[in-house]
Amino acid sequence: MATNNASKIALVTGATRGIGLETVRQLAASGVHVLLAGRDHAKAAAAAQALQGEGLPVEAIALDVTDEASIAATAKDVAERHGRLDILVNNAGILRDEMGRKPSEQSLAAWRDTFETNLFAVVAVTTAFLPLLHKSAAGRIVNVSSILGSIALHADPASPIYDFKVPAYNVSKTAVNAWTVQLAHELRDTNIKVNAVHPGYVKTDMNAGEGELEIADGARTSVRLAQVGADGPNGGFFYFEDALPW
């Protein structure tokens, strides 16, 4: 059962394009007031304006998820203007692995850049906004992960991802899943729920449009987990309605 969306406030990171932008659109269409966050304020403002033109309750907010000062300033701004946060979707992510190179051949710089955005930024943003989520009657955190973070599937020769080894990206998402479990344990006796999601193999700029799903479908799992009711899961890993193996 979904929670009531009346007057809810959501923030979606990495939301100027792709799955993030569509997540903003779908949440806003359901009645949530959405803060569309992007590192480039001009791009965020343009994206928000387009959605506002469709009559959706969206506003732009500048947020560089890899910059501590930017995170702190944004959290302060949201606190001053809204007083709480009901939904946080950690959507921002990057892929720095060089395709065609073996796991041992990927550069250390690629590993560091990937973890800076895909893991450390998720932890930093979440901890900064957690006090505002505690002020919500039903706080929800969605960490956008990937099926490529599943150790069980990577170790299974029969798995469809068995041969898809882009290690920095894959392992960063494994770490996001592990972080989700740790945080869910901390929040187990609160009104906040945190879950990880696999959006699917979506046609985005990250894979040059070579996915199987349209972007609208890629946002569906994030939107669903952002709105689960009190009887919903905490500390899970999902693709649409299905739980995925860690």
* Residues belonging to the active site: 169, 173
Residue 193 · residue 142 · CB < 8 Å:
no
Dump strand ranges (E) for 158-213.
193-197
Helices H / strands E in the chain, number of each: 9, 8
Around 152, how many Cα atoms within 13 Å sit in the side-chain half-sphere? 6
Closest to 47 (Cα-Cα) out of 94, 82, 12 = 12
Q: CA 122, CA 182: separation in Å to the nearest integer? A: 13
The DSSP secondary-structure symbol of 245 reads P
User: From residue 12, how far is each of 5, 17, 117, 155, 188 by CA, in Å?
Assistant: 16, 11, 15, 32, 23
Q: What is the Cα–Cα distance from 213 to 158, expressed in whole angstroms?
A: 22
